[in-house]
Amino acid sequence: MRHATAHPPTAEERDQAPLDIDTMRDTIDLLLGPDDGPDALPPVVDLDLLTAAVRGHLELTLPEVERLAGTLPRHKTYYALACASEARRQLSLTAGPELEHRVTRARRLARALNSLCNEYERLGAAS
């Protein structure tokens, strides 16, 4: 059984500010609020801007979750790596031009970001 060993942080890692999970969760809540049923549209004016924000959050969070996962034994990181893989898959997909498709795509990205935020917090607490 292989065990990951923690490495000392690089200069870049030491200089990097921690992720702003609270802001990410606020963004997620705009898309996945209490009225996020399949027929309900999010109460936002600019869906494209919100989708771009979620994509940006994912691009920041993905490498951090993978980095944290690399510092722990594999059996403790399986779900985190699965969430990262799903987030990468969601990022690679595009939505159709119809509003319903764009909302669905944005919500799937938001769910992937929510999972990564949960794993970032869990792994950070475990390391």
Q: Tell me the per-residue pLDDT of 74-87, one tens digit each, with 9 for 90 and over.
A: 888 999 999 999 99
Q: Is 50 a residue whose pLDDT tops 70? A: yes
Tell me, what's the pLDDT at 125? 75
Structure tokens at 59: 């691009």
Q: How far apart are CA 63 and CA 103, in angstroms?
A: 25
Structure tokens at 90: 């969601």
Q: 38: exposed, middle or buried (C-beta count within 10 Å: 0-12, 13-18, 19+)?
A: exposed
Structure tokens at 29: 């809540």
Q: Tell me the per-residue pLDDT of 57-105, one tens digit each, with 9 for 90 and over.
A: 999 999 999 999 999 998 889 999 999 999 999 999 998 898 888 988 9
Q: Tell me the per-residue pLDDT of 6-44, one tens digit each, with 9 for 90 and over.
A: 444 455 554 567 899 999 999 999 888 766 666 666 666
Tell me, what's the pLDDT at 109? 96
pLDDT classification of 120: cutoffs 50, 70, 90: very high
Radius of gyration of the chain measured on its C-alpha atoms: 16
